[in-house]
């Protein structure tokens, strides 16, 4: 073999080795980051004992129990009193309530004045009621109560009243519709649903990697695949924050091979009590996840969010809370959760 041929062979070998090395590096770089394996368990009292929580994709995490549905309130509901000819049983009332608890897109409800407790409540079997009232919500995130929905409310309430031998007294429609529009305008002007997008700088993330990092900050798995929530302090309340990523990636046959390049951190401000410090926790969570997962905090357009921008958002949110408080629709209250839904 000549020196020239030998040189070509050496150069070819070096190029092949370089190509293999580059492919290996590229493969590792593009492989989604994986969750760390669980720490070994120790018996109680053993040296080096650790009590760190272990999170896996299959561990079921119970969600808060839903609270009892709040009652009708003239602040956000049209209410029609129903006078009875005689006491009515809860069983009869339950049988008379329409199966569809909506008038158009607005929640519809019947409440009875319990003869024994003298409290308004949803009708219950075995109880007796001296009066009823029908109500329909004036506004929600679908818009204001309109004339057609009001008419449907009247029909449902009248049918119920006829069945329990009652006489309803309906408020004037145009007045209530105008009141609904004013409430809807206020709600629209003071609704705040915030979102940060966390984007991977380099390597993508696997679903397990995202879940493990979020779980360390208190998030638990939600009902929908690809969604996690940060629970409120009290059971039955809406979550403080939400974290979502690609549902298909979460449902893949082998999630470890799914590549996620962005996750969304969200806050539904009117749904969460300000005592939870929701925006402060949202900001701290975004910074912590960005640091642990090598990500960037951006807006919906992919622009990096600056610290001064976060300060401004926080100040605006405090003003929003004050305004809602002044309207008796404090963020996180039962009425606010109904209105902003």
Task: Indicate whether 236 pLDDT > 60.
Answer: yes
Give pLDDT, residue 67. Answer: 47
- Cα 140 to Cα 138: distance, rounded to the nearest angstrom: 7
Give me the DSSP letters along 165-223: TEEE-PPPHHHHHHHHHHHHHHHHHT--EEEEEEEESSS-B-HHHHHHHHHTTT-EE-S
φ, ψ (nearest 5 deg) of residue 138? -80, -25
- Cα 313 to Cα 323: distance, rounded to the nearest angstrom: 15
Task: Indicate whether 337 pLDDT > 50.
Answer: yes
Q: What is the mean pLDDT of the chain?
A: 87
Task: Indicate whether 64 pLDDT > 50.
Answer: no
Long-range contacts of 146-150 (CB under 8 A, 24+ apart): 146/104, 146/177, 146/180, 147/173, 147/177, 148/104, 149/103, 149/104, 149/105, 149/106, 150/78, 150/103, 150/176, 150/177
Give pLDDT, residue 160. Answer: 98
Q: Kindly indicate whether the domain formed by 192-339 is annotated with CATH number 3.30.1400.10.
A: yes
Q: Which of 46-50, 72-76, 130-134, 233-237 has the lowest mean pLDDT?
A: 46-50
Pick 77-188's CATH classification: 3.40.50.300, 2.70.98.60, 3.30.1400.10, 3.30.1120.10.
3.30.1400.10
139 in Cβ contact with 187 (< 8 Å): yes
- Cα 314 to Cα 98: distance, rounded to the nearest angstrom: 44
- Cα 11 to Cα 8: distance, rounded to the nearest angstrom: 5
Is there a shared CATH topology between the 77-188 domain and the 192-339 domain?
yes
- CA angle 294-227-272, nearest 5°? 100
Q: What's the rounded mean pLDDT across residues 108-118?
A: 97
φ, ψ (nearest 5 deg) of residue 251? -100, 5
Residues 6+ apart with CB under 8 A from 102: 108
Give me the DSSP letters along 35-91: PPPPPPP--TT-TT--------TT---PPPPPPPPP---TTTEEEEEEEEEEEEEHH
Confidence of residue 69 (pLDDT cuts 50, 70, 90): low
32 in Cβ contact with 257 (< 8 Å): yes
- Cα 319 to Cα 311: distance, rounded to the nearest angstrom: 13
**Beta-bridge partner residues of 128:** 89
Q: What's the rounded mean pLDDT across residues 158-182?
A: 98
- Cα 135 to Cα 109: distance, rounded to the nearest angstrom: 5
The number of beta carbons lying within 10 Å of the beta carbon of residue 125 is 11
> Tell me: the pLDDT tens digits for 180-201?
999 999 999 999 999 999 999 9
Q: Give the closest residue to 297 by CA, choosing from 201, 193, 192, 194.
A: 201
Percent of the chain whose predicted confidence (pLDDT) is above 70: 82
Q: Give the closest residue to 107 by CA, choosing from 64, 76, 68, 148.
A: 76
Q: What's the rounded mean pLDDT across residues 48-59?
A: 41
- CA angle 224-199-278, nearest 5°? 60
Look at strands 106-114 and 120-121 and give their pairing: antiparallel
- CA angle 276-323-306, nearest 5°? 60
Task: Indicate whether 341 pLDDT > 50.
Answer: yes
- Cα 163 to Cα 157: distance, rounded to the nearest angstrom: 10
Size of the chain, expressed as the number of residues it contains: 341
* Domain boundaries of the chain, sorted by first residue: 77-188, 192-339
Top-confidence residue, 340 or 47:
340
Task: Indicate whether 268 pLDDT > 50.
Answer: yes
Q: What's the rounded mean pLDDT across residues 26-54?
A: 53
Confidence of residue 32 (pLDDT cuts 50, 70, 90): confident
Give pLDDT, residue 82. Answer: 98
Task: Indicate whether 289 pLDDT > 60.
Answer: yes
Task: Indicate whether 149 pLDDT > 70.
Answer: yes
């Amino acid at each position: 073999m000549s020196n020239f041929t030998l040189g070509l062979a050496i150069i070819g070998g070096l190029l092949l080795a370089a190509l293999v090395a580059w492919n290996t590096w590229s493969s590792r770089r593009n492989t989604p980051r994986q969750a760390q394996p669980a720490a070994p368990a120790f018996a109680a009292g053993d040296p080096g004992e650790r009590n760190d929580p272990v999170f896996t994709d299959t561990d079921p995490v119970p969600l808060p129990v839903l609270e009892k549905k709040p009652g009708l309130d003239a602040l956000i509901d049209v209410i029609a009193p129903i006078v009875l000819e005689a006491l009515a049983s809860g069983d009869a009332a339950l049988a008379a309530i329409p199966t569809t608890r909506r008038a158009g897109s607005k929640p519809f409800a019947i409440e009875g004045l319990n003869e024994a407790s003298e409290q308004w409540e949803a009708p219950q079997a075995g109880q007796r009621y001296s009066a009823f009232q029908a109500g329909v919500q004036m506004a929600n995130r679908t818009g204001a109560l309109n004339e057609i929905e009001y008419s449907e409310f009247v029909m449902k309430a009248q049918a119920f009243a006829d069945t329990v031998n009652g006489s309803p007294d309906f408020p004037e429609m145009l007045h209530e519709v105008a009141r609904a529009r004013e409430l809807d305008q206020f709600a629209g002007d003071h609704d705040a649903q915030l979102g940060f997008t966390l984007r991977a700088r380099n390597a993508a993330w696997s679903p397990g990697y995202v879940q493990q990092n979020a779980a360390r900050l208190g998030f638990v798995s939600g009902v929908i695949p690809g969604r996690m929530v940060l629970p409120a302090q009290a059971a039955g309340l809406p979550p403080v924050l939400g974290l979502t990523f690609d549902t298909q990636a979460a449902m893949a046959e082998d999630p470890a091979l799914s590549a996620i390049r962005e996750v969304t951190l969200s806050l539904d401000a009117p749904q969460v009590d300000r005592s939870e410090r929701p925006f402060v926790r949202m900001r701290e969570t975004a910074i912590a996840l960005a640091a642990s997962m090598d990500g960037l905090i951006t807006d919906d357009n992919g622009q990096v969010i600056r610290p001064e921008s976060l300060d401004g958002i926080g100040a605006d949110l405090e003003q929003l809370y004050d305004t809602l408080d002044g309207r008796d629709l404090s963020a996180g209250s039962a009425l606010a959760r109904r209105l902003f839904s």
